[in-house]
Amino acid sequence: MKYWLLKSEPGSFSIDDLARSPRKTTGWDGVRNYQARNLLRDMRKGDEAFFYHSSCDVPGVAGIVKIVREAYPDHTAFDPDDHHFDPKSDPDNPRWYMVDVQLVRKLDRVIGLRELKSHAAGKLQGFQLLARGSRLSVMPVTATQWKFVLALEAGK
């Protein structure tokens, strides 16, 4: 199993929105960055990801999701009425992909970016989220980083 981090702006789609979704499952669509798209295509059913709230008052890890469907063409790219529409994307040769995620659980507390950054020189050294200029909405997380972030939730 691999670990990931998926960013979403809570004003667009939050962990609470996912919790209210049928079967607590949704398609993770709208990724329009090639590097992030390639990471989506690397995800496998059963992998887990941190659900991260970005561009908000308290950015941070808000929950855990699991991948329940591997990468498939992102249909929003083909819909001219969708704000993720890409006129260069072709259903016969898709450019953009999505995965389906299911809520595992909300964290007991949001583990904020400021708290994560306080460990950047230690246990979270190399954590891609903390890299200067990191703007990817999808990124890998090592098993060591995963365990450490969960330990922060527990106050360890």
Q: Write phi, then psi, for 112 (nearest 5 degrees).
A: -70, 155
- Residue 143's SS3 state is helix
Q: Which of 70, 62, 63 is nearest to 2 (CA)?
A: 70
CA angle 77, 96, 93 (to 5 degrees): 90
Task: Say if residue 42's pLDDT is above 90.
Answer: yes
Q: Write phi, then psi, for 45 (nearest 5 degrees).
A: -55, 130
- Tens digit of each residue's pLDDT (9 = 90 or more) over 120-139: 999 999 999 999 888 899 99
CATH tag, 3-153: 3.10.590.10
Q: Which of 31, 49, 27, 74 is nearest to 128 (CA)?
A: 49
Average pLDDT over the chain reads 95
Question: Checking DSSP bridges between strand 25-28 and strand 3-8, what pairing results, if any?
Answer: unpaired
Task: Say if residue 147's pLDDT is above 70.
Answer: yes
Q: Which of 3, 26, 50, 147 is nearest to 98 (CA)?
A: 26
Q: Write phi, then psi, for 71 (nearest 5 degrees).
A: -50, 135
Task: Say if residue 156's pLDDT is above 80.
Answer: no
Q: Tell me the domain boundaries of the chain.
A: 3-153
Each as own residue / partner, the long-range contacts of residues 21-26 (CB below 8 Å, 24 or more positions apart, any chain) are 21/103, 23/102, 24/102, 24/103, 25/68, 25/100, 25/101, 25/102, 25/103, 26/100, 26/101
- Tens digit of each residue's pLDDT (9 = 90 or more) over 54-99: 999 999 999 999 999 999 999 999 999 999 999 999 999 999 999 9
